[in-house]
Amino acid sequence: MIPQLQFGRTGHLSSRLIFGAAGLGSCEQPFADEILNFALAQGVNHIDTAASYGDAEEKMAPFLSNHRSEIFLATKTGDRSYQGARDSIRRSLERMGVDSFELIQLHNLTLRDEWELVHSDQGALRALVEAKEEGIVKYVGVTGHGFDVARRHLDSLGEYDYDSVLFPYNFAMLQNERYRDDVEQLIATCKERSIAVQAIKTVAKGNWPTEEVKAKSFSWYEPLMEQPDIDLAVAFALSGGDLFINSSSDYRIFRSTIDAISRQHDQLTNSNLKEWSAKLGLEVLNF
């Protein structure tokens, strides 16, 4: 069974594996229904989606109509202005067929000019805080990608007391010394303030070799596919502290990821991690 952990200060016991709904935007409704019900049966009680994931929010609506009370529901807005974010939240409610959701997140907030707009009087954060005050959402988070994200999240936590953060956490990226130092500082800050920490790209091998290959793929990065590799990648992420792992949008490895997170691993050492990364050709890539 998938272990659970309190999701930051929310008081909710969330599964350590969060269902990443990005892949629902490119699948048929019967498959969406099947995999969401499978995830719930395996103990996944937390779903993460976004307004920009195609029609993923609409694909979740039938499942949520039957299981809303069993799910910690999170979505994201990529809008940076107050009005844009306000409208985005209400569209997400309508698409998913719900009256409220637990967590609204600022999607991929890394660029400095966007960050400044979001935290201004006419920025998106104001709309998220208002939604929280109105009871439409319970918690507010921030997400991001790339080597600057941990530092930018620290800046964001200096501006507002966010309830959660989300960023890449994998062996390859953490070989970048600057990124590793920022991530360690961010995790320490979150632990001190009871802020939930979500990891993405934990099972990433690296960038796709070409844009053509990427366009035909289920994920915007190349994932690890073999169970022993996924086992080590998941074990490495769990060793980083009280992290929650967001599943890949490549649902071919969803069962393997569940299997990895459901078992204890005693094979995680610095030596076999280095050996493993060399074998797979893992590189320090910004993805």
Q: What is the pLDDT of residues 22-60, one digit of tens each?
A: 999 999 999 999 999 999 999 999 999 999 999 999 999
**pLDDT (tens digit, 9 = 90+) per residue, 91-146?**
999 999 999 999 999 999 999 999 999 999 999 999 999 999 999 999 999 999 99
Q: How many residues does the chain have?
A: 287
Q: Where are the beta strands (DSSP E) in 116-227?
A: 137-143, 164-168, 196-200, 204-206, 222-223
User: Phi/psi of residue 106, each to 5°?
Assistant: -80, 120
Take residue 43 and report the two structure tokens written for it. 């103990």
Residues 77/92, Cβ–Cβ less than 8 Å: yes
Residues 240/233, Cβ–Cβ less than 8 Å: no
- Predicted pLDDT at 99: 98
Assign residue 72 the CATH number of its domain.
3.20.20.100
CA 17 – CA 38 distance, rounded (Å): 13
Residue 285 lies in a domain: no
Domain count of the chain? 1
Place 149 in a pLDDT band, splitting at 50, 70 and 90.
very high
Place 221 in a pLDDT band, splitting at 50, 70 and 90.
confident
Cα Rg for the chain, rounded, in angstroms? Answer: 18
CA 180 – CA 159 distance, rounded (Å): 22
Residue 72 lies in a domain: yes
From the list 191, 286, 177, 178, the residue with the least C-alpha distance to 240 is 191
CA 148 – CA 111 distance, rounded (Å): 9
Q: What is the pTM of this model?
A: 0.92
Phi-psi region of 187 (alpha: psi -120 to 50; beta: other; left: phi over 0): alpha
Place 281 in a pLDDT band, splitting at 50, 70 and 90.
low
**Which residue bears the tokens 């960023």?**
167
Residue 286 lies in a domain: no
- Predicted pLDDT at 267: 52
Gap between the terminal Cα atoms of the chain:
31
User: Which residue type is seen at 244?
Assistant: F
Residues 124/85, Cβ–Cβ less than 8 Å: yes
Average per-residue pLDDT in the chain?
92
Residue 287 lies in a domain: no
Residue 176 lies in a domain: yes
Q: Domain range spanning residue 246? A: 4-280
